[in-house]
Structure 1
Amino acid sequence: MATPTVDEGDDPVAAARRVHRRTGPTFYLATRLFPARVRRETYVLYGFFRLADEVVDDPDRTDPAAQRRELDRIERAALGREPTDDPILAAFADLRERYDLPAREVETFVDAMRMDVERDRYESHDDLAAYLRGSSVAVANVMLAVMGPDDPDAARPHAAALAEAFQLTNFLRDVREDVQDYGRVYLPQDRLAAAGTSDAQIRSLTCTEAVADAISAELERTEKRYAEGVEGIQHLPRDCQFPVLLAAVCYADHHRAIRDRDYDVLSSRPTLSRSRRLALLARTWWHWHRTADPVATFVRASSIPTVETLSTPEPARSRCSIRRFFRA
């Protein structure tokens, strides 16, 4: 995908919003429901994060040294260490100063993008944790600063868990794309080995019983991160709780799509249609209106197993007829 471009005279928020709408429809739906004080800033944040992400995901940029130089330039401009004529970068630098965002969060995020230049696999979940700290937790910490919860320390570990869940869902949804377009495998190598498969099998884009077992195990692990993350939505400002909850329900719905295809994420990329996202919006709003409780709403509106189900071993399943554990 080509790096998003904007006209020099373009309004940076409008430019960032267009990038968001085009490249992140699931989160864009949730972002539109934030209060105005958060919505504008979220467009700018997303535009910045996407700008850096595209440096390592643009198939036309294949020179690692050039990618590192561009990431260095983006980091310096974002931290106000050099001038920029990029409206999104300038808007982010202004936002960072207004909210006094720690430079380390920007640096940690860009470091994760550098890892995408240098690495194409991770040996274990512990090995992957450093990447997640930059690619997802740093984003959550910045979003928390913009939302302004009364007790950031109470909200922070849950926000980190939810951000990691979103990123892990992206990894599971995008296995085929990551292999085909970027030559990367984010599924930990020890997970693949434990299931009886390998990095080479993933790169062959051929789904086997062992690959399906590895994907199934990763779904269950990720769903525990959702549970931990959703428990902390109560610590967010009231006007931010529903949009974050909706994002969780929509992202988690990719797990239903993956299970519906018998865990085969190698043949094609599972996606959510616009009608499906709108249906999830209606369903989540209905339960939120009735309970005003993030956990209760997530249990009723999402398509992933409940916490109780996660703690119970899954029965033996046939790849031809898989028993599903979804909420209606």
Structure 2
Amino acid sequence: MVEKTHITTSKAIQRRTGKTFHLATRLLPTRVRHATYVLYAFFRVADDVVDTTADRDPGVQREELEGIRAAALGARDPESVAADTEVLAAFRELATRHGISDEDIHTFIDAMQADLEKTRYESHAELEEYMRGSAVAVGYMMMDVMEVAEPETAAPHAAALAEAFQLSNFLRDVAEDVHEYDRVYLPAESRADHGVTVEQLRARTVDAGFREAMREELAYTERKYRTGVAGIEYLPEDCQFAVLVSAVLYADHHRAIRERDCDVLTATPSLSTPRKLWLVAKTRALWALNSSPEAVFYRATGLAETGDSRRRHGDPQPTPSR
């Protein structure tokens, strides 16, 4: 059993660093909610090693990530790792209890290591390879703690939804990523199609080409959402509403981006607390009238069930099952 103090520590980390996800997590049943606090805290502990504006030695960061990997796999005492020992101990207990695979742990840490070395992505295929660790592995671990009855059926949808969440964050945070971490997640192919350069992103220059590139990336991400929400019905009934709310909240960033005519360079679009609470209430009211997660998602977000198919580099590729 994960110690209460460890859950409290993990919850505090999530509340402080992931306000949108924390709101949705509170809607999960207790059996999953506490585990989700621990999962999120573990992801944040690893992420914080690489997401820093401090002038750090990459070699030291790699060593720290390897220590986190070893502790997460049970190969090293969390007390010996230069990270939050309570979170690492809680995660290891959780991984053992719920059968979280070593492969998903490795893949996640590998993605964190990649952030130390790779700051540009040529194509969506390259970006999806990165997200196999940074997003899809996270979705799979969430499935484990939810105890999904038919994981093979749910897995491709969980993978797509996890990717959609991360892609929405990438689109919202273009300016922050390039200025604070020198990372660009807009694929080079897409930027080249519209004459968008990294220097332009740094200069915060929003022109017609940048707006069109953003519109295409929004459409690409929304296809991920469509695949993802189609699988919410495969999750345990007591988890479906919380995951649906997560999807509605993350997708609402697209509305905020479009309201700014895709200008995410001079300011970062965000959702106010009243807006988030209104969306939760709206989703709950729709959920009371219609038990279809897909139908509620489209009503709550205003996204069309089929969307703009403009892509020069292909639709999202099916994500392999676990």
Give the TM-score normalised by structure 2.
0.92
* Structure 2 CA distance for aligned equivalents of residues 309 and 218 of structure 1: 12
Once the two structures are superposed, what CA deviation does each residue of 1:34-71 show, in whole Å capped at 9, x if it has no partner? 00000000000000000000100122252111110110
For 1:26-105, what aligned pairs fall within 5 Å after superposition? Answer: 26-60=20-54, 62-85=56-79, 86-105=85-104
Q: Are 1:218 and 2:212 an aligned pair?
A: no
Listed as ranges, the matches of 1:200-239 within 5 Å are 200-239=199-238
CA deviation after TM superposition for structure 1 residue 180, in Å: 1.2
Q: What is the root-mean-square deviation of aligned Cα atoms in Å?
A: 1.4
* AA at the equivalent of 2:8: A
Distance in 2 (alpha carbons) for counterparts of 1:255 and 1:161: 17
Distance 1:29 1:141 in 2: 20
Q: Are positions 1:199 and 2:198 aligned together?
A: yes
Cα distance, 1:192 vs structure 2: 0.3
Q: Match for 2:305 among 303, 307, 316?
A: 307
Aligned to 2:11: 17
Contact 1:12 1:87 in 2 (8 A): yes
Q: Tell me: CA distance 1:157–1:185, structure 2 relative to 1, closer, same or farther (3 Å).
A: same
CA deviations on 1:74-106 (whole Å, 9 max, x unpaired) are 100111111013100000011111112111101
Per-residue CA shift, 1:13-45, capped at 9, x if unaligned?
111101101111111111001000000000000
**Contact 1:120 1:183 (8 Å CA) reproduced:** yes
How far the C-alpha of 1:311 sits from its partner, in A, is 4.8
Give, in angstroms, the shift of residue 310 of structure 1.
3.2
Counterpart check, 1:159 vs 2:153: no
Tell whether the 8 Å contact from 1:178 to 1:185 is kept in structure 2 after alignment.
yes
Paired amino acid for 1:282: A
Whole-Å separation in 1 of the counterparts to 2:204 and 2:249: 26
Distance 2:230 2:307 in 1: 17
Deviation at residue 309 of structure 1 after TM alignment: 3.8
The structural deviation recorded for 1:235 is 0.3
User: What does residue range 230-309 of structure 1 map to in structure 2 within 5 Å?
Assistant: 230-303=229-302, 305-309=303-307
- Please, which runs of 5 or more residues in structure 2 have no aligned partner? 80-84, 312-322
- Greater RCO, CA 8 A, separation 6+: 2
The letter of the residue matching 1:39 is: R
Q: Is the 8 A contact 2:216 2:310 kept in 1?
A: no
For 1:51, the aligned partner's letter is V
Structure 1, unmatched stretches of 5+, are 1-8, 314-328
Q: Distance between the aligned counterparts of 1:216 and 1:99, measured in 2?
A: 40
CA 309–118 in structure 1, closer or farther in 2 if over 3 Å, else same:
closer
- The alignment of Structure 1 onto Structure 2 pairs a total of residues equal to 304
CA contact (8 A) 1:140 1:160 kept: yes
Which residue of structure 1 aligns with residue 123 of structure 2? 124
- CA drift at 1:234: 0.4
Report the CA distance between 1:200 and its aligned residue: 2.4
Work out whether residues 189 and 199 of structure 1, in 8 Å CA contact, stay in contact via their aligned partners in 2: no
Moved more, 30-39 or 200-209: 200-209
